[in-house]
Amino acid sequence: MLKVGLIGSGNIARKRHAPGWQKLAGQAIVTAVSDVVEAAATEAAGLFATDGAAPTIYTDYHQLIREAEIDAVDICLPHHLHADAILAATAAGKHILCEKPMCIAIEEADRIVEAVDRAGIVYMSGHNELFYPAVAGAKELLDRGALGTPFILRSHEFPTGYPASAVPGRPAEGTMMVGWRANRATMGGGVLIDKGYHPTYILLHLAGAEPVEVTAMGGTYVAQMDGEDTALVMVKFANGAIGQIFTGEGFAFPANDAKFHAIGERGEVYGNRYDLYEKPRGFAEPSRRSYPVEPVGNQQTFDATIHHFYDSIATGRRPIQDHRDGRRVLQVILAAYRSIEEGKTITL
């Protein structure tokens, strides 16, 4: 039985991670939870309470890591605390599943890579959208080589859940970019390192090549936050392929129709979350594969992430995305920030 400590008991921990762990009952158990806000930790602990047994509550995650009887931690903290929690858990020999981003500075990422390698623990980057069936299907097609090496790629993510706005072209008030997300010091940037993190790891995953150059533009147009609320990023890969990432709060309507697109020498593949289109070169129409739509938002991607983390520990197999993948995604995002600031292409 894998014993798990939940670090950070906010929105994503309670709404998405908790149901994922609950589905692993019998194989894994959350024995400790923590949040600096005790009420949040208590609420999270209530989700795991079984007859007579509930997880121990900690308001200090360092104490949880030191004292709780756990094999692994699941980190769901604001971004600026990720590196501290990861390094503490690594030093204590705990396996780690961490929400995106791995951390917010490349020096932190380097320390994490070195520490995780030395400790020999399993580190999994919580890149949950790779488990959307259409994204996983596209990767499988590309890996099989049926379409050749992709040379043009695109990936994007925009808001999905805003209520209708009173002002056309402006998001309604429901933007999530409030609290620690609106503060550059705790967010590590703006929308690109949060919502835009997903299309970034999807693009790199589908490209299957090393990113070598980044050129970006961005700005703050509609949300009240320190960082950018909209970003457009171009990536050049070592094999000559080029890719584009587009993200932001600036789109006031659900614009996630074609979430990703990859074009190779022998054809192309594109889709969103549950629909995958494949069009070999020379064909007039694509074939379409539709997967069952998850009734609870994107819950299945979190269930799959947590299950995959468990399997990686149980089997010793490398997780789909580890600490090096976390570093690579961050490196592209930080290069994009430098490119926006300096108005030039950044070589990685």
Looking at 24-32, 33-41, 47-55, 151-159, which segment touches ligand NAD (CB under 6 A)? Answer: 33-41
Residue 37 binds to ligand NAD (criterion: CB under 6 A): yes
- Smallest distance, Å, CB 240 to ligand NAD? 31
Rank residues 150 and 171 by Cβ distance to ligand NAD and give the closer one: 171
- Kindly list the distances between the CA atom of residue 223 and the CA atoms of 97, 166, 189, 325, in Å, as whole numbers in the listed order: 30, 15, 14, 30
Rounded (10°) CA dihedral 126, 209, 348, 324: 30
Q: Considering beta carbons, is residue 184 or 279 the nearer one to ligand NAD?
A: 184
- Of 102, 104, 208, 195, give the one whose Cα is nearest residue 153: 208
Residue 208 one-letter amino acid: G
Q: Least distance from C-beta 12 to ligand NAD, angstroms?
A: 4
Q: Is the CB of 11 or the CB of 239 nearer to ligand NAD?
A: 11
Candidate list 3, 12, 56, 146; residue touching ligand NAD; CB under 6 A: 12
User: Minimum distance between the CB of residue 235 and ligand NAD, rounded to whole angstroms?
Assistant: 21
CB closer to ligand NAD, 38 vs 140 = 38
Residues 111 to 150 in contact with ligand NAD, rule: CB under 6 A: 126, 128
Dist CA 338 CA 228 (whole Å): 13
Q: How far is CA 42 from CA 89, 108, 302, in A?
A: 22, 31, 22
Q: Minimum Å distance from CB 270 to ligand NAD?
A: 21
Q: For residue 32, what are the contacts with CB-CB under 8 A and spacing of at least 6?
A: 4, 5, 6, 55, 56, 57, 58, 64, 68, 69, 70
Among residues 2, 24, 40, 147, the one that binds ligand NAD under rule CB under 6 A: 40
Residues 234-263 interacting with ligand NAD (rule: CB under 6 A):
none
Part of the chain binding ligand NAD (CB under 6 A), chosen from 74-82, 88-96, 207-215, 277-285: 74-82
Distance in angstroms (rounded) separating the CA atoms of residues 105 and 61? 21
Residue nearer to ligand NAD on the CB measure, 108 or 278: 108
Cβ proximity to ligand NAD, 10 vs 208, nearer residue = 10
Total residues contacting ligand NAD by CB under 6 A comes to 23
Separation between Cα atoms, residue 18 and residue 40, nearest integer Å = 13
Residues in CB range of 15: below 8 A, 6 or more apart: none
Output 197 or 237, the one with its CB closest to ligand NAD.
Answer: 197
Measure the CA–CA gap between 25 and 205, rounded to whole angstroms.
31
In the set 9, 155, 220, 339, which binds ligand NAD (CB under 6 A)? 9
Q: Is position 326 an interface residue for ligand NAD (rule: CB under 6 A)?
A: no
> 3-state class of 259 per DSSP?
coil
* Alpha-helical runs (H) found in 145-228: 184-187, 197-207
How far apart (Å, rounded) are the C-alpha atoms in residues 24 and 171?
A: 38
Shortest spacing between CB 347 and ligand NAD, in angstroms: 28
- Say whether residue 81 binds ligand NAD (CB under 6 A): yes
Shorter beta-carbon distance to ligand NAD: residue 26 or 161: 161
DSSP label at 185? H
Enumerate binding residues for ligand NAD (CB under 6 A).
8-13, 34-37, 40, 61, 76-79, 81, 99-100, 126, 128, 179, 194
